[in-house]
Amino acid sequence: MASFLPLMLVLVLIVLLSGVKSDQESDRIWQLPGQPANVDFSQYSGYVTVDPRHGRALFYWLVEAVPSAGPDNAPLVLWLNGGPGCSSIAYGASEEIGPFRIQADGHNLYLNPHSWNTVANLLFLESPAGVGFSYSNTSLDLYTAGDVRTATDAYAFLENWFERFPKYKYREFYIAGESYAGHYIPQLAQFIYRRNKGVQNPSINLKGFMVGNAVTDDYHDYIGTFEYWWTHGLISDATYHNLRSTCMQDSSEHPSIECVKNLNIASAEEGNIDPYSIYTRPCNNTAALMRGINGRYPWMSRAYDPCTERHAKIYYNLPEVQRALHANATGIKYDWDTCSNIVGTYWADSPRSILPIYQELIAAGQRIWVFSGDTDAVVPVTATRYSIDALKLPTLVNWHPWYDNGKVGGWSQIYKGLSFVTVTGAGHEVPLHRPRQALILFRHFLKNKPMPQ
């Protein structure tokens, strides 16, 4: 009898492990439609249920590191886009840090030479439910999403995902993203940190996070944004002063009528520009783009395609693409889209400031880097600087330029507990506009080394 029990335990273990293996293999992406040849890294995608009672399930896409990066030892990085209500597949994976870009025909892919999977394993998550392929069987969930549920669901996702991919347990784990993920990321990091407290060897081995052009603190974000618009000649003196007098006490999610009125005036004064990248053309004239309009403006980067969202909407609605990704298995009654208007419009809860979380996680010794593209007028560099300044952190290394091949790539300042980096010429999506410099930034973040001088 004594020898029979260990044998039974071994059999149970084998069954459990084979179940994990089969779950992984059922999520494996064998080949994406239009995928280029010679792809040498593994990919997985599928669903993880985070609330069985409501039927909420979040869609993920794992892109493992290239062989030269040593995927079995490279860190795992969770990437989140913001909105709220926007897809990390549409933005992070497809036009920023992922291995593939979508051709203008919306049917074919090409390799991104500056993909972050050259140094790390990348996990993209469409969050919360209702965003992209993520769904809920309880339709009310789409109208009641907010910061708290987004964090708790993301944590539930991670717990379940690590069970499906146990080789990533205890691996160095980081979270990165941008924009309204300036709320998601610190909140999720705080959730993980508090759950890990007192645990000797936590399976979610969080080491830190990095956020770019991040919504951080409503008061300081407003000050910095209005100042950026005014100092860059986008709005009039009168509108600048009116914005400061009518919006400063408001929440960014619930501005007053007078504030909205002045924000609309500001938008009219700014005109037909891309506020996410004020010195590049907006995507509003396909014919002009086909003629190569940027040839008339040699200072505009030819590498930047302002219509990448259009390409994504075509590609991810192709039935063969959804089959390859194991996506839309339940037959969602609406098309995949880059952002969910329902989720974003009905956002339920949003604290005015994330700075108290920064203070807690800085004290806990988490690695925190904040970066900013300096041509973004939506969450501009001035807003981020005001928010960081409000933390009143001691400076360890004063403001200084960093370099890429002898050229200034941006500027940096290192505080006690936080590093701040700007990327010159980059808009709201830094890796879209300055992919090479963004990869340099990411490499230095992972090593926790100052930017090159």
Catalytic annotation, residues: 179, 376, 428
Question: Tokens at residue 277, please?
Answer: 């990248």
Q: Is 328 left (phi over 0), alpha (psi -120 to 50) or beta?
A: left
Question: Tokens at residue 133, please?
Answer: 């392929």
Cα 355 to Cα 358: distance, rounded to the nearest angstrom: 5
In this structure, are strands 135-136 and 109-111 parallel, antiparallel, or unpaired?
unpaired
| Structure letter (DSSP) for residue 346 | T
Q: At a CB cut-off of 8 Å and minimum separation 6, what does 28 contact?
A: 42, 43, 44
| Structure letter (DSSP) for residue 99 | S
- How many Cβ atoms are within 10 Å of 8's Cβ, its own excluded? 9
The alpha carbon dihedral of 225, 351, 76, 43 has a sign of negative
Asked if 173 and 139 touch (Cβ cutoff 8 Å), the reply is no
Cα 53 to Cα 137: distance, rounded to the nearest angstrom: 9
Cα 260 to Cα 422: distance, rounded to the nearest angstrom: 29
Question: Tokens at residue 387, please?
Answer: 């928010």
For 47, phi then psi, to 5°, come to -115, 145
Max Cα-Cα span within the chain: 87
Asked if 423 and 404 touch (Cβ cutoff 8 Å), the reply is no
Cα 14 to Cα 176: distance, rounded to the nearest angstrom: 35
> H-helix or E-strand containing 205?
strand 205-212
- Using alpha carbons only, how large is the chain's radius of gyration in Å? 22
